[in-house]
Structure formats: structure tokens, C-alpha cells
Amino acid sequence: MNPLWSNIFRKKSEEDSLAHFLRNLAVFADLGRRELNFIETLVHSRRYAPAEIVFEEGDPGSGMYAIRSGRVSIFVRTPDGQKEQLALLGPGDFFGESTLMAPAQRTASARTLEPTELIGLFRADLLEANQKHPAITNAILIGLARTLSERLQAAEIAIRKLRTAASGTTSGTPIDIDPES
């Protein structure tokens, strides 16, 4: 076949496509092919070098990131300048989703550990999409809301456990725990 034509008609293999990656994310698990194709036009794909800062604690947050390849470390800086790692995320994980709908500051910092490709989904794009395709945006938002409430519930249970543990050991003032971290 003519190489020019083969180039035009060549389809990206299913595993490589962004839609396939998005479908495997917990947030978008319930979405159909059409919705995923639409999300493909919304998200931004960004490449990061190793040890590059994605965002710092206190930055204005405006969206979430999903890891397509590579690893990302989520950490907070302690007052004496040390980094305390909260989580180590790999491909398929996502982070920063708490600032997607409400403008807020990042409560932790994120840094890549190796060459990483991140897929960013931001509030501004979602709001704009909501004007045009409310139905699809609804499906996305329901998925997000479900994930968020799952995480919130898990955090609440963790807080309760920690509080009872703290009151059991020290029987003094309960420890303040940031539910976001």
C-alpha cells in the first residue's frame, strides 16, 4: 500500500490511546466511549523530567492530574525543612482532585521521581464544557463526586480511628489531623 495512505488510515492501537487510559481511571470507569472521546479533548497531556515539581503546597490549585507513566511523590514540608512523604503514586493513580471543583490551595506538594507523563484535567475546561455538553459533563462530575465522597469517607474513618487511638494512649488533647492530607 502507498505509505502516505497507510499513514492516514492507520489507527492508534487501542492500548495506546488516551481514551483507553482514561477508561482505566477509577474516576471515569463508568463512562462510555463517546464521553471518553470528549474527555480526550478536554485534558492536557504534560511531560515532566525526573525530580520536577508538579505543584507546591500553597499553590493555587485548579485541577487534578492522572499519571500515565512514571512515578510521583506526594509530600509536605515540615517546619524544619524536611520533606515528609505522604504517598508514592504510579501509573493509573490520580491526585489533586480536591481542588478540581472549588478553588483552593494545594495542601501538599507533588514531585516526579522519573520521566513522567501526566494527564491534567482542570476546572476551567470542565466549566467551559458544561456550557456546551451538559450531559457529558454531568457523567464526568458524577464519577468525580463518587470518588471524592469515597475518599472523604475513608478519611473520616481514619480520623475517627486515630482520634480514639490518641485519646486511648495520651488521654489528652486530640491530635489535629488535616483531612486533606
Residues that bind other proteins (CB under 8 A): 44, 46, 48, 52-55, 58-63, 79, 103-105, 120, 122-125, 127-128, 131-134
Q: How far is the CB of 141 from other proteins (least distance, A)?
A: 17
Angle in degrees, CA 44, 47, 48, rounded to 5: 130
> Nearest 5°: CA angle at 21, between 60 and 132?
60
Nearer to other proteins, 40 or 146 (CB): 40
- Which CB, 114 or 128, lies closer to other proteins? 128
How far apart CA 76 and CA 82 sit, in angstroms, is 8
Least distance between other proteins and beta carbon 131 (Å)? 6
- Closest contact distance (angstroms) between CB of 120 and other proteins is 7
Q: Select 69 or 146, whichever has its Cβ closest to other proteins.
A: 69
| Alpha carbons 132 and 169: distance in angstroms, whole number | 55
The span from the CA of 108 to the CA of 177, in Å, is 14
